[in-house]
Structure 1
Amino acid sequence: MKALVCILLLLETFVFVVQQQVDGGLNENEISQQISSEDRRQNPPQTDTLRAEASTDSQQYCNLGIPDIHAALRELTASITEQKGNIRELTATVTEQKENIRALETQLREQQTFILEELKKKNDEISNVTLSQVEELRKENRDREIAFSAGLMESGSGYVGPFTTEITITYRNVFTNIGNAYNPVTGIFTAPLKGAYMFRVTVYGHGGTGSSASIYKNGKHMVVSFNYQAQDRVNSSNGVVLILEAGDVVYVRLGTNTRIADSENNHNTFSGFLLFPLREQELCRM
């Protein structure tokens, strides 16, 4: 505030001197007297004291201001240096992070390659398993394709029987033998797998002796087809569903003291086929 008063006083004096010179000029004494008079008019008797204080304050201000500027510059320089250090650290951190990112990208590509290779292997394994299963199912289905049918005589006509004991009939004229489970030489059907099987026998003969044929399973009598009359032709038929284990045998036996007759018309037949396979537990329930 005191410095401002001093500046204003100097400006007022300067303006006054200039004005006097324009009006006609003043000598040095007049100027000095005018300045002294103006000083006394503008300032009370304590003007000299104020001027001294203003000069002292201005010097103190200057003395104080310059060190403050240098201190501020030093602080600013130190701050800039610190910021540069921080920037260098940040740059190093960014560089390190970039290296980490590149390493992660490389690792990710390796993992992707590994995963793709593993997926391809799994896919190949699944494909192989699927193909193996398909082939196994095909084989299983082929194994399940079991059916046969056969007539008594391959050609001509004639009689079989009578005999004093039962005999196994061999049906030699094979119509169908899918799975080759029936043997036309022995007349025996051998089950290739566990399951439910349907069997049927037809009987034809001439009157007077009777005609009889029975279905056997593993030596045990199951069902019989029988007819008798004194004269003319006789015929009958019968069928049965049997649960067989793999290796069980089924065949037909001619009854004691009976006979059957056949011709190219194939009146006497023995047939059978697999209805469906059975698992072990299904057989146990039965």
Structure 2
Amino acid sequence: MSRFNSFLLTVLLFESRYIHVEGEYNNVHDLEQFVKEEFRHLRDNEKELNHKISTLEKENEDKGRQIRKLEEELKYLKKERELDQRTRRQSRTLVAFTAYKSQHIHNITKEQKIVYEHILLNDGNAYDSNTGVFTAPVSGVYLFSYSVGSKAIPGVPLTQYDVFTRLVINGVHQVSAVAESTSIDDDEQGSTTAILFVLEGDTVWTIHELKGGSNLYSDDSERVTSFTGTLLYEKQVSGSIIG
């Protein structure tokens, strides 16, 4: 409310009161005293109204500042949340590896682990090149792929060059890869890929089956026998679903 409107209201109040008392006074002196008294009240009322208006204006200014402060705090919190979300995305568990065999294996035995000793990538350090075993750092859905080579190994007189292998989780068979050679001149490679759920702490590796030949072909130049794995996304479930 403006000061002019306040004054106008005061005048209107006075006019209403004056009309009410006009007939009650018979001499000018009494009426003059009444008018003076009324003006005094009007001035007091105007001061009080102006004080209230000033107080309300100050309160509005204070509330405006508080609102602007809250708006700034909200903007800051939104930025912090966006930064936290970006950080969470960037800092999520990264797991990926690829390793290959740089040497042949002669006289490989049943269920012997295939150790891919040469690492090309090992983000998360979950693959152990000394044992050939991958240990899941988090529960989630992983992609695994591996390949095996079958070929006549120089200096090794054999009549069969078939290679039968399995990928296992905690020793439980999941998928297989086979490379079958029928001649000393054959140069074969078998491979397989699987997307599997793995619990944190589960171990994954590949083994040789007691079938076919007993030699696994690979060398540092051809690198036909390799093992790859990566975390696609984290996932939590109760209990193992390995079948």
Q: Which ranges in structure 1 are unaligned for 5 or more consecutive residues? A: 1-71
Report the Cα distance in structure 2 between the residues aligned to 1:119 and 1:168, rounded to whole angstroms. Answer: 62
Amino acid across the alignment from 2:58: T
The equivalent position to 1:149 in structure 2, one of 94, 98, 102, is: 98
Map 1:217-228; keep pairs closer than 5 Å. Answer: 217-228=169-180
How far is the alpha carbon of 1:228 from its aligned partner?
A: 4.0
Contact 1:212–1:258 (CA under 8 A) maintained in structure 2: no
Map 1:32-47; keep pairs closer than 5 Å. Answer: none
When Rg is computed on C-alpha atoms for both structures, the one with the higher figure is 1
Q: Which has the higher helix share?
A: 1
- Cα shift readout 1:9-64 (whole Å, capped 9, x = no counterpart): xxxxxxxxxxxxxxxxxxxxxxxxxxxxxxxxxxxxxxxxxxxxxxxxxxxxxxxx
Of structures 1 and 2, the one with the larger relative CO (CA 8 A, separation 6+) is 2
Report the Cα distance in structure 2 between the residues aligned to 1:272 and 1:164, rounded to whole angstroms. Answer: 24
Amino acid across the alignment from 1:200: S
Map 1:209-220; keep pairs closer than 5 Å. Answer: 209-220=161-172
Q: Which ranges in structure 2 are unaligned for 5 or more consecutive residues? A: 1-23, 152-158
Map 1:87-166; keep pairs closer than 5 Å. Answer: 87-140=39-92, 143=93, 145-153=94-102, 158-166=103-111
Is residue 214 of structure 2 the alignment partner of residue 258 of structure 1? yes
Percent of aligned positions that are identical: 22
How far is the alpha carbon of 1:98 from its aligned partner?
A: 1.0
Report the Cα distance in structure 2 between the residues aligned to 1:114 and 1:132, rounded to whole angstroms. Answer: 26
Given the two structures, how large is their TM-score scaled by the length of structure 2? 0.73
Given the two structures, how large is their TM-score scaled by the length of structure 1? 0.63
Give the secondary-structure state (helix, strand or coil) at the position aligned to 1:168: coil
Gap change, CA 1:198 and 1:117, over 3 Å in 2? same
How many residues get paired? 205
Report the Cα distance in structure 1 between the residues aligned to 2:25 and 2:140, rounded to whole angstroms. Answer: 104
Gap change, CA 1:74 and 1:251, over 3 Å in 2? same
Contact 1:211–1:235 (CA under 8 A) maintained in structure 2: no
Report the Cα distance in structure 1 between the residues aligned to 2:70 and 2:56, rounded to whole angstroms. Answer: 20
Report the Cα distance in structure 1 between the residues aligned to 2:194 and 2:81, rounded to whole angstroms. Answer: 40
Gap change, CA 1:182 and 1:94, over 3 Å in 2? same
